[in-house]
Amino acid sequence: MKERIRNFFRYRYLLWELVKKGIKLKYRRSYLGIFWSLLEPLLTMVVLTVIFGTLLGHNEKTFAVYVLSGRLLYSFFSQSTGAALRSIRGNSAMIKRVYVPKYLYPLSSVMFNYVIFALSLIVLAAVSLIMGVYPSVYSLQLIIPLVLLMIFSFGVGMILATVGVFFRDMEYLWNVVLMLVMYTCAIFYYPDNLIKSGKGWLLKMNPLFCIIDNFRSGLFGELMNTKMLAYSAFASVFVLIFGLWIFYKKQDEFILHI
């Protein structure tokens, strides 16, 4: 374990270069560049608020903040895990030439998306103030779901990066799974009616929903749900450990399949 930690610090500068490379490639040949990471969630929020606010009768101003917060956290999970899935095959040329700890590729994929996600939180903060959602002592809770989101996304990304090397169609299947995850995250609807009907377990089984719900609690000045916090923390750590285990177990075979 100590050797792996020393190895990580030995390659920390390469990790940072991979993160910068990921950001540059994401916005290559884009006129708006990184400004798009601020504009896109804002435009998406407007569309979702108008459509679902009208259809579901949510006319309160805070509904826009509710939609935007869920959308931002889900988008990070979706984009970071998708990038991690492609990371090993996408860097196959470098893996064949130079020795680099292979976990740096999925890790950098998650990290550069997290940097972009962190920038997009500026938009959330601005919209929250405009819509009358002000910071409170409960806002200090926000760091917890944000850390869990990073851990959970990296764990899932490690699993996907491993499976994606041996099963090329995983990228297409993961897009289908992400659609199911999105609808069970309550991004553009309130989960109260579903919970009261006895079907709330469908949402609570999704660790990402628990993370998003607790993030919203801190955002709107409420105490986090301790049961969902415990479940999402356990799920995040478990997925991370399992992802690291399966990645290290199979990484020596990557060279034969990329």
Question: Going by C-beta distance under 8 Å and a sequence separation of 6 or more, which residues neighbour residue 216?
Answer: 66, 69, 70
Q: Which residues of the chain have pLDDT under 50?
A: none
Do the domain assignments include residue 193?
A: yes
pLDDT score of 93: 84
pLDDT score of 151: 97
pLDDT score of 54: 67
Tell me if residue 61 falls in helix, strand or coil: coil
What angle is formed at CA 155 by the lines to CA 255 and CA 80, rounded to 5 degrees? 85
Rounded Cα gap, residues 67 and 128, in angstroms:
11
Do the domain assignments include residue 194?
A: yes
pLDDT score of 233: 97
pLDDT score of 249: 93
Q: Within 10 A of 110 (CB to CB), how many other CB atoms are there?
A: 28
Task: Calculate what percentage of the chain has a pLDDT beyond 90.
Answer: 50
Do the domain assignments include residue 199?
A: yes
Cβ atoms of 67 and 49 closer than 8 Å: yes
Do the domain assignments include residue 19?
A: no
pLDDT score of 64: 87
Number of domains the chain contains: 1
Domain span including residue 160? 35-256
Cβ atoms of 36 and 30 closer than 8 Å: yes
pLDDT score of 107: 94
pLDDT score of 247: 95
Rounded Cα gap, residues 254 and 248, in angstroms:
11
Do the domain assignments include residue 30?
A: no
Do the domain assignments include residue 15?
A: no
Do the domain assignments include residue 245?
A: yes
Do the domain assignments include residue 233?
A: yes
Cβ atoms of 161 and 85 closer than 8 Å: yes
Rounded Cα gap, residues 217 and 210, in angstroms:
11
